[in-house]
Structure 1
Amino acid sequence: MAGKKSKSEIEIKVSRLRVTYLATRIHERVTQDIALPGAFRRRLQTLEPVEGLQVTLPFEVPVDPGDVAWKFWAAAMEKDSRVRPPFSDSDTQWLFRHRMPLRHQATLTAPFESPRLEALLHPFGWIVLATADLTWQEPVPLEEAAEALDERAAQGAEVTVGSSRHQATFATAAGRAADALSAHLAGDTSSTLPGHRLVTVIDGSVNVEPTDMPPSQGAVQCALDKLSCGHGGPSQPALAFVARWDYMGNFTWNPEDLVYMLQGGTSVVLPKAVTSRPSPSAPEEDTAGRHRRFALMLAYLSANAGLIRARPHNQVLQDLAKEDANRLARLYGPWRADADYWGLEPQSYLHKTDAISDIESLLGVALEARRKPPSTYP
């Protein structure tokens, strides 16, 4: 991979990549099993099948307070006590208002390690996540790993949703499964947001401890750009790298925590954590936990933004979309209480997908960035 390289630039090698593809489908008319608020709230309590598809809560039960998924939904719901089943009627009203989904585990066969496929079901559609690992016995340069991922993702795969099987590639598996769910659960055509790919270096090594952000158009940025589905050369780094919270009230560039986001994808490298040590930004999380939290965050943002973009005619969905617009406006900041957990990823995602214009149009005001990235890239 072409790219300028400075003497101070770190060299990253990869033993394990984790990749998640996300596909979003939003509908005006879905099965009555979950379409109305009351029906969906009952499903959160009973977990009865949805049109024959088995569903669970989107985290493990009994609750493990250290579980990444439970911690994510507890943060999204804003009150931990409401996210501990069995749920009361008032609990399910709160969970519904804050977009707690049902989870359906589908099946994925693909030329990767540990492929898995899950769908997060809402009363207005679903977000499908296809996740797997790509591994090397001998670590390879980050640039080489990026090339290998694209080659492997183009190979054949198969998804099974309910009793139906569908051929795909790994890169299209989430979208194929989302379409199969739409055929099974929806009564109209879908509105969609563009798909997104998240790639995290789970295991690997770096030659030196990083002290500076990657140089513009250097080897590291070129590799991250490719992992993030970039085309035509790296973007301006200040527009692609997402600044990190410093736990002192500001966002700053952190070479130990590299998050690179484009319209089509996001790549994450935690140079001090690629040997499975805790993440520098969240000491309680390892690299796998960071990937899982980020994937759930993208699914949550996509569900909310997707409903807003769909501009439904249904009054119930219109009310939900208005609630979602206000929720994303809070995360866009982010507000002080959200800054260390949500970071600037929501702000970046809403800009990259142009969802910001949908939200501002619905709310009738411009979104306020209470927490802004640094003004210049080092």
Structure 2
Amino acid sequence: MTQIETSPSLLRLAGLPYFLIAFIARLPFAMMVVGVLTIVVSARDSLSLGGLTSAAVGIGTALIGPFLGAAADRYGQRPVLVAAAVLNAAMLAAFAAVVYSPLDQGFVLLAAFAIGATAPQVSPMSRSRLVTIIDERMPQPRRARTTSATMSYESAADETVFVFGPFLVGALASLIAPWAPMVMASALTLLFVGAFALHPTARHVSASRAADGTAPSAVSELFRPTLLVVVLGILGVGLFFGAMLTALTSFMADRGVAEQAGLLYGVMGIGSAILALGVAWLPPRFTLHMRWLVFGGILLAGSLLVLTASDVTTMTVALAVLGIGVGPTLVTLYSLGAARSPLGRSATVMTMLGAGVVVGQAAAAAITGELAEGSGTAAALVMPLIAAAIVVATGIANRLMTPARR
């Protein structure tokens, strides 16, 4: 038998418990933004402050997340994740106390920023960890397809968690109290992010690192145009997520059922997760560059359908179309990011991409919310179209700066 046939699978290399732990460990992150919004609106009776607080969480993650990735590349994931898990669990619990205290709203925003800044970057760290294992412990012929399958799984896991996270927040807030989601997120962070940090795979540091932990690639390589265009593309996806959820909430509020927006949004999320898993079986001749353009085009077409939706049935169909485009696009962008990561800096790149999604989501939610409140739902529904256009435009730019291979 050949080495390819006898080499172990990624599931065997990492172990099934790893995937279960990593899945649950990313749940608190999916609960943060919605949980913060829920508790602030309930305790302070201000939707405006709730939106600003959610944005503060996103800003904290966007500004500090890449530095956590760089630290993980330099010193290993374990110490970085352990510190982040302890600090973030403490900040989540402290936030509930600050919101219900008589402290000024400035302290609320500061505490929200601290939640985002200390958020453990489980999804990017998991991608980086698995890609490094693939590159160093699998034969060359199997790496490309295994990496594609891994990015498909990771994106599907993210989609599933980001659909279930807001649902869990709503359930806990309704059944117990508005502060319950924050306390639950704090406990999950301490237990499962801690377990993710202490898992044996966390000891794995890229062999491309020198003995002192330095990477062979310069920091300037993180700012290559071919990598930055991927970051801009994934920022567009983040903008789309934030704009679509906020515009959909306004759309459903016009019909007196705003609380059903999350359920309808799940139509896109579930379809997106299923299609993301299917990307691994696409033929290699259907290149990453073409996938970006094709699935980004589907995202744009679905956004046009959203713009013309006049009833819940049409909106549901539009969301189903969007699910076909957004999941595979996200997988494609993460795969390109992994392929273009400078040596020894995969965690940094993955946290840059993750931060792009978060900051895009937070910014679009704030802008779309203002549009919906000031100009109505029709204006808000334009925002997902603009975000999808950014995804397509960056895909075209990527194709132009990447020469076709014979």
Superposition TM-score tier, normalisation by shorter sequence: 0.3 to 0.5
Q: Which has the higher helix share?
A: 2
Instruction: Provide TM-score, normalisation by structure 2.
Output: 0.32
Larger relative strand fraction: 1
Which TM-score applies when normalising by structure 1? 0.34
